[in-house]
Chain A
Amino acid sequence: MLRVDVEKQLGEFSLSASFSSEGRVTGLFGASGAGKTSLINMIAGILRPDRGTIVIDGETVDDTAAGIHVPTWRRRIGYVFQDARLFPHLNVAQNLDYGRRMNRLASDPAQRTRVIELLDIGALLDRRPGKLSGGERQRVALGRALLSKPRLLLLDEPLGALDEARKLEILPYLVRLRDEANIPMVYVSHDVAELRQLATQIVMLRQGRVTSFGGVKVLT
C-alpha cells in the first residue's frame, strides 16, 4: 500500500526513514522535532527526498535514482493539516467541492451526502470558514480531503490545535472514517492515547530515525 525509504537533510537535522505499511491507519509517532511532519510532507510531495523511493498504491511517486518526482497535485492524496487551511473566500460547500472540481471528477451526490452526514457538517454548508469553530473547521477539512477521492489520506496532527473537549468531539468521527471510508490513512501524532484509538500500525520516529515498527503494542 505505502512504501517509504527516504533520506533527507534539513539543515542540521537528518531524516532517514524506511518502512512499508499495509495497515488501514499507519500512525507516525514521535516527539516534536522527530521528523514526523517532514516525512508526511515527503509522502505528499511537498518536500523532495535527497535519496530514496516512495510508492503509493503501487505507483512510484518518488525515485531519486530514476529522477521521478510526481508533483503534489498529481499524487491523488488527501491532506488534513493541523490548521485546517480552509479557503477563506469560499463557503463550506465550495470548500468541500474544490477537490472534485480540480480533479475533474464527476459529481457523486451519494458520496457527498455520506461524507456530510458522517462528519455532521450539513448545517454549515453556507457558512464561511471565518464563522466556524476550530472543531467544525477541522471536520470540514476532513470532508474536503475525502471528497477529492484520494487513494491515501494524510493527517498531520489534525487534533493538535484543539482543546481536550474538542478532541473528544472529533475523535469519534475519525474512528468512523477509519471503519467506513475505506481509505488508507497516515496519521501523525505525538499523543499515545489518540494513536491507540485510531492506528492499526505504528511507525515510531526518534530524531529522524525509525526506532520501531509494528502493531499498536509498540506504543507501550
Chain B
Amino acid sequence: MLDISPAEWTAILLSLRVAVVATLMATPFGIALAWLLARKDFWGKSVLDAVVHLPLVLPPVVTGYLLLLTFGRRGLVGGFLADHLGIVFAFRWTGAALACGLMSFPLLVRPMRLSIEAIDRRLEQAAETLGAAPFEVFFTVTLPLALPGVLAGMVLGFAKAIGEFGATITFVSNIPGETQTISSAIYSLIQTPDGDAAAGRLVIVSVVLALGALIAAEWFARRATARLHGN
C-alpha cells in the first residue's frame, strides 16, 4: 500500500526507538512528580508545577538551545556526563530521546496526576489500618488504582515524543540514521525537489501513530473509570 523506502524506515524506526526510550525514562519521574503534586503541599509547589509545564509554552527552539547549553559537550551537565560516565547526548539519538522526554513530560504527568487525585484517600487509610506501611500503600493501592491514568499519560507522552521537532533538531540536529526522526525527515523532504511523495508517506505514518495513541489514551481513561467503580 505505502511504498516506504529504506531511508524512510530508518527515520520511522529511529522515531519509535527515541519515543519508547523517552517515555520509559520519563515514566518513573512522571509518577513521582504526579504523586508529589497531587498529594503534598510544600513550599515552591506552584513554581515546580510551572517549571514542569514550561516546555509546553516555551518556543521549542529555546528548550533545544537550553538543552544544548546544559547537556552539550561543553555544557555543565553534558561535560560531566561525557567525562565521567561516557554518556554523550549532543548529536546522538540519546539526545533526541532526552529532548523528546522533556518536551512530552507535561503531557505525560497530567493524566497521572489527575488519576492520583481521583483516588479515594479513605481506601489508603483502610490499607494502613490493615498493616500496610506507606510505601506498601503506594504500591498496592495508589499505583494500581492510578494505573489506567499512568498508562494514558505514557501513551500521550509517547505520541508527543514521536512528533517532537523543534527542540530535537536544535539540540541534536538532523543526521540521517542517528538523529533524523520522522519529523526532521519530513522537514528535509519538503525542502528537497521531488520529496513530496516521500514526505506524504511519512505524514500518513505520523497521522496514524498520533490517532492510534489518542484512541489508546481514551480507552485507558474509560478503563480507569470502570476500575474506580469496582466493576
Contacts and interface: CB of A to CB of B under 8 A. Distances in A.
Contact of A131 (B122, B129, B145, B231): B231
Contact of B122 (A74, A78, A83): A83
Interface string A136-165: 000000001100100000100000000000
A102 B134 CA distance: 11
A144 to B, nearest CB: 7
Contacts of A122: none
B81 interface: no
A88 B230 contact: yes
**Interface of chain A: mostly helix, strand, loop or mixed:** mixed
A87 B141 contact: yes
Interface string B98-129: 00000000000000000000001011011111
Interface string B58-78: 000000000000000000000
A148 B131 contact: yes
A76 interface: yes
Interface in B217-231: 227-231
Contact of A89 (B125, B137, B227): B227
B230 A98 contact: no
Contacts of B137: 73
A167 interface: no
Contacts of B229: 88, 130
Nearest to B145: A89
Contacts of B196: none
A152 to B, nearest CB: 11
A99 interface: yes
A102 B130 contact: yes
Nearest to A44: B129
Contacts of B122: 81, 83, 85
B49 interface: no
A77 interface: yes
B132 interface: yes
B119 to A, nearest CB: 10
Given A99-B131, A102-B127, A148-B131, A89 B231 contact: no
A46 interface: yes
Contacts of A79: 126, 129
Contacts of A69: none
A151 to B, nearest CB: 12
Given A88-B229, A131-B231, A76 B131 contact: yes
A212 interface: no
Interface string B196-231: 000000000000000000000000000000011111
- The CB with the most chain A CB atoms within 10 A, among B127, B131, B133, is that of B131
A196 interface: no
A86 B230 CA distance: 9
Contacts of A87: 123, 126-127, 141
B171 to A, nearest CB: 40
A102 B230 contact: no
Contacts of A81: 122, 126
B131 A130 contact: no
A102 B125 CA distance: 14
B144 interface: yes
A73 B128 contact: yes
A148 B127 CA distance: 11
A88 B130 contact: no
Given A46-B125, A81-B122, A87-B123, A99 B130 contact: yes
Nearest to B125: A46
A157 B229 CA distance: 23
B206 to A, nearest CB: 35
Given A81-B126, A128-B230, A88 B145 contact: yes
Contacts of B133: 73, 102
A120 B191 CA distance: 74
Interface in A103-146: 103, 128-131, 144-145
Given A44-B129, A102-B130, 6 more contacts: A73-B128, A79-B126, A88-B123, A102-B133, A103-B130, A130-B231
Closest 7 CB pairs of A and B: A130-B230, A88-B230, A79-B129, A99-B130, A85-B126, A103-B131, A102-B131
